[in-house]
């Protein structure tokens, strides 16, 4: 019995003449993630990508978990391959799914016949396999509408496959087909979700974090790096650019009106992030902003931060409410780390009454008291870069 994984492609199948490039990127991403789990063969045929262990030492469970987080895969199944023969398919189902067949009360068989030269059509093969299994397992009753167990049969070009209980994949597009972006990563719930959502569209994402030691602790910085590590199984290897931000915040507190502190700080973050993006070939910034969530996320405030940007700013959470964001955070495994009680730089020197509808001309006037270029250059020069690998 030979167990493999079947990875089902989603919107990639609609890419026309570009489709092969998407498939190559998906296979390359799969191979990199599988390296630590042993020797696997990865190939694509007829809109499915196959992951086949090449020796008994492969960590199949670890590889399965890695493939569940692979963008570009809409669904995946553990499957057993067999000869393209109706009786071989029945025997394979009995051997591979015997425990499930013995435990279930109702079942049905669903067949997909990609190889149109197979002598039975999909309905005929389903009826044949279903009849044989019904005879072999007295506990089973055929149920077409809401069965406890669905036996999936796929007849493809070289082999047939039998599987059950397919799982939902990560979806989206393979990492690397959508360009590169730099994501502003705080220690909160929103920014890891925003980073994940952009990566899901095939974008290579690196992170930038603003660190205000000693006002924020080394533990707070490590929390952010932990969040980035939790995203690596989805995003692939990434670099976290850690920006020393203390001097800028102290200069703002010393020289600027308190009620404008938050939005002025945000404008400096965007200036620095744009500088890093331009130097490193990123086409856009990514933020976790959602309209109206905090004072710096009103439409007026976002317009004022956009005014200093030299690259596009992507805000994938902009129309989402907190419950939706938290739900995704739990799904991708970042929520518990995000809520650890460590401060981030956005909470340092927070004004009691921040301006929610700032005026751009007032901010420009306030910034005249600062040497903006020197502060930005010093911060960029002091960046620490942390590489995170798969």
* pLDDT attached to residue 355: 75
Q: Which two tokens stand for residue 213?
A: 């030691």
All residue ranges of the chain with pLDDT < 70 are 345-349, 351
Q: How far apart are CA 72 and CA 69, in angstroms?
A: 9
* pLDDT attached to residue 303: 95
Q: How far apart are CA 62 and CA 226, in angstroms?
A: 20
Could you give the C-alpha distances from 89 to 27, 33, 113, 364, in angstroms and in order?
A: 28, 31, 13, 72
* pLDDT attached to residue 47: 81
In tens, the pLDDT along 136-169 reads: 999 999 999 999 999 999 998 889 999 998 899 9
* pLDDT attached to residue 349: 67
* pLDDT attached to residue 158: 84
Strands 106-113 and 149-155: parallel
Dihedral angle, C-alpha 344, 349, 355, 356, nearest 10 °: 10
* pLDDT attached to residue 2: 85
């Amino acid at each position: 019995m030979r167990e493999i994984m079947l990875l089902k492609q989603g919107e990639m199948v609609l890419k026309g003449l570009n489709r092969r490039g998407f498939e190559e990127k998906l296979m390359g991403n799969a191979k990199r993630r599988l390296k630590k789990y042993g020797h696997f063969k990865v190939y694509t045929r007829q809109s499915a990508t196959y992951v086949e262990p090449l020796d008994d030492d492969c960590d199949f469970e670890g590889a399965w978990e890695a493939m569940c987080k692979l963008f570009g895969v809409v669904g995946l199944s553990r499957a057993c391959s067999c000869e393209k023969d109706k009786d071989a398919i029945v025997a394979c189902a009995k051997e591979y799914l015997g425990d499930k067949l013995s435990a279930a009360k109702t079942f049905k068989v669903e067949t997909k016949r990609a190889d149109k030269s197979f002598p039975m059509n999909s309905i005929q093969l389903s009826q044949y396999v279903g009849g044989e299994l019904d005879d072999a397992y007295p506990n089973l009753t055929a149920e077409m509408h809401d069965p406890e167990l669905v036996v999936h049969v796929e007849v493809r070009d070289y082999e047939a496959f039998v599987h059950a209980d397919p799982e939902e994949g990560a979806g989206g597009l393979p990492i690397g087909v959508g360009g590169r972006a730099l994501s502003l990563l705080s220690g909160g719930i929103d920014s890891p979700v925003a980073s994940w959502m952009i990566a899901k569209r095939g974008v290579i994402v690196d992170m930038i974090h603003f660190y205000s030691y000693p006002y924020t602790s080394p533990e707070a910085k490590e929390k952010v790096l932990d969040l980035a590590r939790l995203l690596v199984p989805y995003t692939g290897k990434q670099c976290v650019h850690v920006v020393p931000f203390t001097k800028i915040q102290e200069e703002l507190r010393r020289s600027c009106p308190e009620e404008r502190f938050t939005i002025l700080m945000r404008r400096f973050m965007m200036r620095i992030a744009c500088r890093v993006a331009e130097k490193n070939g990123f086409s856009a910034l990514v933020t976790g902003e959602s309209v109206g969530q905090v004072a710096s996320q009103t439409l007026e405030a976002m317009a004022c931060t956009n005014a200093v940007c030299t690259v596009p700013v992507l805000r994938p959470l902009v129309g989402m409410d907190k419950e939706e964001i938290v739900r995704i955070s739990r799904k991708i495994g970042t929520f518990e780390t995000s809520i650890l009680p460590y401060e981030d730089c956005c909470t340092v020197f927070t004004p009691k009454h921040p301006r929610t509808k700032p005026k751009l001309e007032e901010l420009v006037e306030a910034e005249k008291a600062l040497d903006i270029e020197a502060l930005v250059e010093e911060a960029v020069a002091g960046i620490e870069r942390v590489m995170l690998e798969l």
